[in-house]
Structure 1
Amino acid sequence: MYLHHYAEPLLSRALASLLLLGAFSAHHASAQEAASFSMTASNPALSGEPLGISLKGLQPGQTVNILAERRFAPNAPIYMSTVEMQADAQGNITLATSASKAGSYTGVDAAGLFWSMQPSNKVDADWQAAETRLTALAGQQQLAQMKFALRSSITPVKTETIGGHAGTKIYLPATSVNADSKPPVVIILGGSEGGDSAGRRFGLKLAARGFAAVSYPYYSPNTPRGQEVPGLPKDFIDIPIDGLDALYKTLAARNDIDSSHIALMGGSKGAEMALLSASLLPWVKAVVAIAPSDLVWEGFAMDRLLEAGRYGSFSYQGKPLPFTPNAGLDKAFATTQPVLGHIYIEGRKANPERAKAARIAVENFKGKLLLIAGGDDQMWPALEMANNIVTSRKAAGLETELLSFPKAGHLVGGDGYSPNDYQTPFAMGGNAREDGQAQTIAWPATMAFLKKALQGGK
């Protein structure tokens, strides 16, 4: 007011210029200090690898909400999670070191925003494939946003069907880890869900890390939508290990992979098959068994109850292999979300001689073995059975790596960056937090194990 009325025009213009310069400087400083996300990983980012996400430019001690959103497929619902976090003395929040005070998870967890996601009703056609968004909010005010793609592979992968083996696919990396070598092979064995779901889940991720990943669906049950892979057994009865041996012969005839270095990677019933196959087939060099079994168990059908104790799970060279009967399966299925763990515990107790005959001779496998198990597994006692495997191999002078997670459940297989939303008909044990944290530890350990066993650590 004073300057407007009494200052000389020249002085007024000079002061106005200074004020304008000051306003520009203040605006420039404000823009530089504005909150922003950063990520050390590339964009697109490889799922399962550290992302290095930070939020900077906040006030020291400021509390903000971080909303994470992710869409996995076109027109699919968007998965969401949210946490409340507080900036440190420098005004920064780092997912790997900053604790969530409330929200989808609490505590410190670099992957917590991802495994804690839940499906929402939100569908947005503008989203790109595999797009992920992080938004920082103070109340209703948006402070910062970052968009990036989180993918199973960020390098080209070629996918082929393998003739003569129903539903079998191979995922080939575009370039080998070593230009002078061919990629080693990891054969993926799914669990009681059957079909090709395990291959879809892990094929690209393994190929992205330099392995020739082979999805081998060995059975495909009847479902309300029909049989996913026609031509495969519909019941988990006397599944022939010979089929895996025949696949090996097909792979050995290829000149674009290293068939002298093959690992089996299986979860649950797939882990049972992997361990059994490794004890019988000399070409297996390494095994990753997730939620494993030390015994061959009774067979089953997904769409009906079979006569108790009559059918086994596997066969070899045309003969059914000894198996341990379950106990109380009919009673378990009378509940709304069956807890199956006790049918194996009681089956072993009730049939000690049959359990002895059905023990998988893991000491016959001289290769590298990694076991991953949760102590709260409600599908079957995976950790107890993993410890039995370790004991048997130790007695034979063989080393075994065991990753045990006392509070995790059956779903310890994964890379930790996919939602653990538990839409399952059976009780799995654990919870999203325990399983997610187990996965974020087990996945890099699995990749390191396979690289050491098949690639010499390269």
Structure 2
Amino acid sequence: MTRATLTATPSDALQPTAIAITAAGFAPGETVRITSTLVDDAGVTWAAHGHFVADAQGEIDLATAPSEHGTYEGVDAAGLLWSMRPPSDTDRQFMIDATEKAHKLGSPQIDPVKPHVFELSASTDGQLRASTTLSLRRLAEGIEQVPLRDGRLRGQVFRWKERRLPDGRKRGCIFTFTGSGGGLELGYAPVLASLGYDVVCLAYFAYDDLPKFIAAIPLEYFEEGFQWAQQALGAETIAIQGASRGGELVMALASFLPEYVQGVIGIVPMYTTSVGWDPDKGFGGPSFTFRGEPIPHCGAGDDPDWDRMRRIGLAEPKGYALTPEYRKTLEEPETRANPLPVERAGGPVLLISGVDDQMWPSAWGSDLIVNRLRAKAFKHPYRHLCLKETGHITPFPNTVTTFTPAVLHSLLGIFLACGGTPAGTARTSRQSWDAMVAHYHSVFGY
């Protein structure tokens, strides 16, 4: 038996970095099981594996060698990272029984700024032949995480200790916004900061003493946030990013506060905003206001039957699909005649959607945004990246996507269909990440 090796290159990198996993020193044609494990902060062990056949040189490269069977099949360089499962495998009971928010969403519970540390091993016939460690960092050195509590502003800031770039220019600033789960957006934020930008995670509901739900939230709150960044961070250029309800929010901010925003990324966004919702008052009215007036929004539609939605969400393998109901409401003539004035945006626009979005029709909504920009002769660059095999969830590369087709909503407690496939979502994550990086290069010049 020859001495085998297992290598991850690079072995320490920022989370979205493409990782090459290779093995050598095996007999030609030998079947090798390669396994990845990750222990999260709650003590849950996530694992993935594949069975590979060594080539004529006794080598295996996951970028070219197919997994014949395991937690994923076929050729996928990142398969051992996205196909990880907890001990209960893909049973949704894992999410139902979970006490940690990340587990309820089907993800490892790991501090947002901590690296994800994977143990990789290669074995034949049950005998360990080689092992190595891979660390995917989420926050670069030189960044401090500080709370934001100024007036009514609430959130967290990832701020570079070196206030200027090496060439003396001021750093760009990105605002990131959460979706319908509320709280802070900490999935994208630390990684975006690691690219060299200051990042403000500005909460707007379901956090601290802010409103619990989205109803008549004034855009002036976000205007105060932009002004704070200009003064406290010295931000001369500001970009904004949000997903889902955060996606519609950033399109609204770009439309009504263009003097502050030089670039926008709407992830699974919509061409108008959703109706407001307060459990004490029900559905109705705007989600957001500006200068005391409602901004464009869709109608209330039919009152949802929450018990029915919960029953269907549990019974259906892919959860409760909201897209048909959303599409019906969003296509009403009054709503179609009341879109966001996105042509006012003050910089480049990037829209990222999933063809199979089952939460709401983000690809269709993004097309309507593009059509409006075209019709209004929008003067800045714009792009709609419509991802096949992807639904409502658009994570970074090298992220666990096993549970992405459905999500247990953290506020509603309903299994909602997201669409897409775990493998497809993982594959297209590289496209969305590359597009995001290119967008920020165009906005900030670095």
1:381: which partner in 2? 361
Shift of 1:177: 5.0
CA pair 396-320 structure 1, distance change in 2 beyond 3 A: closer
CA pair 414-83 structure 1, distance change in 2 beyond 3 A: same
Q: Check whether the contact 1:166–1:231 (CA below 8 A) recurs between aligned residues.
A: no
Q: Check whether the contact 1:219–1:234 (CA below 8 A) recurs between aligned residues.
A: yes
Q: Check whether the contact 1:47–1:150 (CA below 8 A) recurs between aligned residues.
A: yes
Which residue identity is paired with 1:161?
P
Of 171, 181, 196, which residue of structure 2 is paired with 1:210? 196
- Tell me the TM-score normalized by structure 1: 0.82
1:251: which partner in 2? 229
How well do the aligned residues superpose, as a CA RMSD in angstroms? 2.2
Give the distance between the partners of 1:71 and 1:412, measured in 2 at CA.
Answer: 23
Of 119, 132, 142, which residue of structure 1 is paired with 2:128? 142
Give the distance between the partners of 1:406 and 1:328, measured in 2 at CA.
Answer: 31
Per-residue CA deviation, residues 115-158 of structure 1 (Å, 9 max, x unaligned), is: 11112279xxxxx9732101112121111111232221242320
Of 384, 400, 410, which residue of structure 2 is paired with 1:418? 400
Shift of 1:42: 4.4
Q: Check whether the contact 1:329–1:340 (CA below 8 A) recurs between aligned residues.
A: no
Give the distance between the partners of 2:307 and 2:383, measured in 1 at CA.
Answer: 35
Shift of 1:93: 1.5
Which residue identity is paired with 1:169?
Q
Q: Check whether the contact 2:244–2:269 (CA below 8 A) recurs between aligned residues.
A: yes
**Where does 1:320-339 land on structure 2 (aligned, <5 Å)?**
320-331=294-305, 334-335=308-309, 336=311, 337=313, 338-339=320-321
Is structure 2 residue 276 aligned with structure 1 residue 299?
A: yes
Q: Check whether the contact 1:324–1:354 (CA below 8 A) recurs between aligned residues.
A: yes
Give the distance between the partners of 2:280 and 2:397, measured in 1 at CA.
Answer: 34
Of 174, 180, 194, which residue of structure 2 is paired with 1:192? 180
Q: Check whether the contact 1:64–1:85 (CA below 8 A) recurs between aligned residues.
A: yes
Which residue identity is paired with 1:234?
K
CA pair 416-429 structure 1, distance change in 2 beyond 3 A: same
SS in 2 for 1:98: coil
2:256: which partner in 1? 280
Of 86, 91, 95, which residue of structure 1 is paired with 2:62? 95
**Where does 1:97-176 land on structure 2 (aligned, <5 Å)?**
97-120=64-87, 130-164=116-150, 165-175=152-162
User: Which of the pair has the greater relative contact order for Cα pairs under 8 Å at 6+ separation?
Assistant: 2
Tell me how many residue pairs correspond in the alignment: 401
Q: Check whether the contact 1:173–1:208 (CA below 8 A) recurs between aligned residues.
A: no
Is structure 2 residue 324 aligned with structure 1 residue 342?
A: yes
2:266: which partner in 1? 289
Q: Check whether the contact 2:32–2:51 (CA below 8 A) recurs between aligned residues.
A: yes
Per-residue CA deviation, residues 210-231 of structure 1 (Å, 9 max, x unaligned), is: 11011011111xxxxxxxx222
Shift of 1:163: 2.9
CA pair 407-213 structure 1, distance change in 2 beyond 3 A: same
Give the distance between the partners of 1:332 and 1:388, measured in 2 at CA.
Answer: 30
CA pair 421-156 structure 1, distance change in 2 beyond 3 A: farther
Which residue identity is paired with 1:442?
S
Q: Flag structure 2 segments of 5+ consecutive residues without an equivalent.
A: 90-113, 314-319, 409-414
CA pair 89-401 structure 1, distance change in 2 beyond 3 A: farther
2:208: which partner in 1? 230
- Tell me the TM-score normalized by structure 2: 0.84
Give the distance between the partners of 1:385 and 1:168, measured in 2 at CA.
Answer: 29
Shift of 1:195: 0.5
1:12: which partner in 2? none
Shift of 1:416: 3.7
Shift of 1:389: 1.0
1:35: which partner in 2? 4
SS in 2 for 1:401: strand
Which structure has the larger Rg?
A: 1
Give the distance between the partners of 1:61 and 1:420, measured in 2 at CA.
Answer: 30
Q: Check whether the contact 1:407–1:430 (CA below 8 A) recurs between aligned residues.
A: yes
Q: Check whether the contact 1:161–1:168 (CA below 8 A) recurs between aligned residues.
A: yes
CA pair 247-57 structure 1, distance change in 2 beyond 3 A: same
Which residue identity is paired with 2:155?
T
Shift of 1:305: 8.2
Q: Check whether the contact 2:177–2:246 (CA below 8 A) recurs between aligned residues.
A: yes
